[in-house]
Amino acid sequence: MSYYYYWNDKIPANPDKTLSPDQFFDSILYKYNATSNPTGDRFSWIQQSADELKASLSGESKTTGMEFKLYLRSSGSTDVIGSVLYVYPGSPADKAGIKRGDVFSKVNGTNLTTTNYSSLLYGEGDTKTYTLADVQSTGIVDTNNSKSVTAVVLQEDPVFMDSVYTYGAKKIGYVIYNQFVPGPNGSSVATYDQKLDAVFGKFKAKGVNELILDFRYNPGGYVSSATALGSLIAKGIGNKSVFVRKEWNPTVAPALEKQYGTDFFYDYLAQKANNIGDNLSQVYVLTTSGTASASELVINGLRPYFGQKVYTIGTTSYGKNVGSITISDNTGKIKWGMQPIVSKSFNRDNESNYSTGFVPTVEVREPLNMRPLGDVTERLLSEAIYQLSGTRTARRGADDTNTRTAVGSSIERKAGGSNMFFTVDKPLPIAGQ
């Protein structure tokens, strides 16, 4: 950490080495504080199992297969409700009949509150019973309808959905991408990168001339996959077209440059056959507070290639312009794995001003009674289609406006929560050598 950590000059001079590994790790971080230290570290973490850490970064985890957001039931209340954002096809939640837009108020027969929701939702026991509630004009009404679901180890395919919509001369390509993962855990084949490439091959064949990227539930992932996606979209890609520049700390940066040259600090766009950039003049991205890290990297990285015309619709994104690497014991003797922040990311124009998130070009909040993803009347997609084509597929405000206070989401816990990471396929320099 004293060599690689981005804020290595802020590590305490004499940390308490009697602490347990997780407590010690936490004690040396340059802590974020919204008021006193807004540029501090919100993202570094450590796990007792490096193997589980690496698996989660590849989209594999023990899960029921549904992602949800939690809200206060009403203003001033301590009761909590969960709103299902999406369900993985074929997952236990899918098989139990749970779907996007379902609302639950109890887990294992107990009402969710601000003090117990964490233990009820994420505590021990693989089987959870969710009691659903109805969204009515008078408020949230409890029901006796319950769904029992048992979590399993699941590999999520991040390329969730793609469609092409036609409105006059507008051929709109739409893709929901939920995590930047090259391929399944343990695989040497970039299956998901290849699938995304094929989606853009279909867009190109169908003459897509407008693009909507749905990143609303994408907390980030591998920079390599973000760069692969950018390579399918950016206009005028040439030799060594910069997508990302990574700034390391002044201690390790000279050693990295000496060992590998300046190219080490750059991620360059590739010239891909399925790139559709020549047909695009702008890009729309759907965002929420769950849109983080590598998702924001794509927005920032593409803007110089479209004269800044990469617009966002939804709510303000998370705000993460720093990246991490996985550090573990190659011998396997020490089981712990660390994911410390080691770099800050900039685009081709040396911009990195999104640490507080991208404020939406058009603000649209997701309602509780959500329409299916891909439905042209779904609120965020409908607004994007209107911005691109001038055609309204649904009335603004037709659904309830969800102004409830959010208290958390399962997306934040995914792959360490709102993270961006990269693999270094070369030996890193060792401190003092």
Question: Distances from the Cα of 111 to the Cαs of 79, 375, 429, in angstroms?
Answer: 7, 32, 52
Task: Determine, yes or no, domain membership for 13.
Answer: no
94 vs 66: CA distance, rounded Å: 8
Question: What is the domain-level CATH number for residue 391?
Answer: 3.90.226.10
CA-based nearest residue to 104, from 124, 127, 128 = 128
pTM higher than 0.85, yes or no? yes
Question: Distances from the Cα of 396 to the Cαs of 83, 382, 387, in angstroms?
Answer: 21, 9, 13
Q: Judge whether residue 84 has pLDDT over 90.
A: yes
CA 139, 315, 105, 160 torsion-angle sign: positive
Domain co-membership, 131 together with 176: no
**Domain end residue (candidates: 154, 170, 186):** 154
Domain co-membership, 341 together with 395: yes
- pLDDT value for 413: 74
Domain co-membership, 233 together with 122: no
351 vs 251: CA distance, rounded Å: 23
Q: What average pLDDT score do residues 322-329 get?
A: 88
Q: Judge whether residue 416 has pLDDT over 50.
A: no
Q: What average pLDDT score do residues 254-265 get?
A: 94
Task: Determine, yes or no, domain membership for 128.
Answer: yes
Question: What is the domain-level CATH number for residue 118?
Answer: 2.30.42.10
* Cβ–Cβ under 8 Å, residues 322 and 420: yes
* Cβ–Cβ under 8 Å, residues 243 and 227: yes
Task: Determine, yes or no, domain membership for 355.
Answer: yes
Domain co-membership, 322 together with 219: yes
**Domain end residue (candidates: 154, 187, 213):** 154
Task: Determine, yes or no, domain membership for 80.
Answer: yes
Domain co-membership, 74 together with 160: no
Domain co-membership, 139 together with 176: no
Residue 429: pLDDT band (50, 70, 90) is confident
As a whole-number percent, the residues of the chain with pLDDT over 90 amount to: 79
Q: Express each pLDDT in 183-226 by its tens digit.
A: 998 889 999 999 999 999 999 999 999 999 999 999 998 889 99
Domain co-membership, 169 together with 101: no
Number of domains in the chain: 2
Domain co-membership, 91 together with 170: no
Residue numbers of the domain that contains 394: 156-400+416-421
Q: Judge whether residue 421 has pLDDT over 50.
A: no
Residue 86: pLDDT band (50, 70, 90) is very high
Contacts of 330 (CB under 8 A, 6+ apart): none
CA-based nearest residue to 307, from 335, 281, 286, 326 = 281
Task: Determine, yes or no, domain membership for 24.
Answer: no
Q: Judge whether residue 417 has pLDDT over 50.
A: no
Domain co-membership, 238 together with 384: yes
Domain co-membership, 256 together with 354: yes
7 vs 310: CA distance, rounded Å: 31
Task: Determine, yes or no, domain membership for 14.
Answer: no
Domain co-membership, 256 together with 197: yes
Q: What average pLDDT score do residues 134-158 get?
A: 94
DSSP 264-300: GGEEEPP--TT--GGG-S-EEEEE-TT--THHHHHHH
Q: Judge whether residue 300 has pLDDT over 90.
A: yes
- pLDDT value for 324: 87
Task: Determine, yes or no, domain membership for 57.
Answer: no
Domain co-membership, 368 together with 259: yes
Residue 400: pLDDT band (50, 70, 90) is low
**Domain end residue (candidates: 128, 154, 180):** 154
Q: Where is pLDDT greater, at 395 or 207? A: 207
Q: Where is pLDDT greater, at 196 or 47? A: 196
Task: Determine, yes or no, domain membership for 177.
Answer: yes
Residue 130 has which token pair? 């969710």
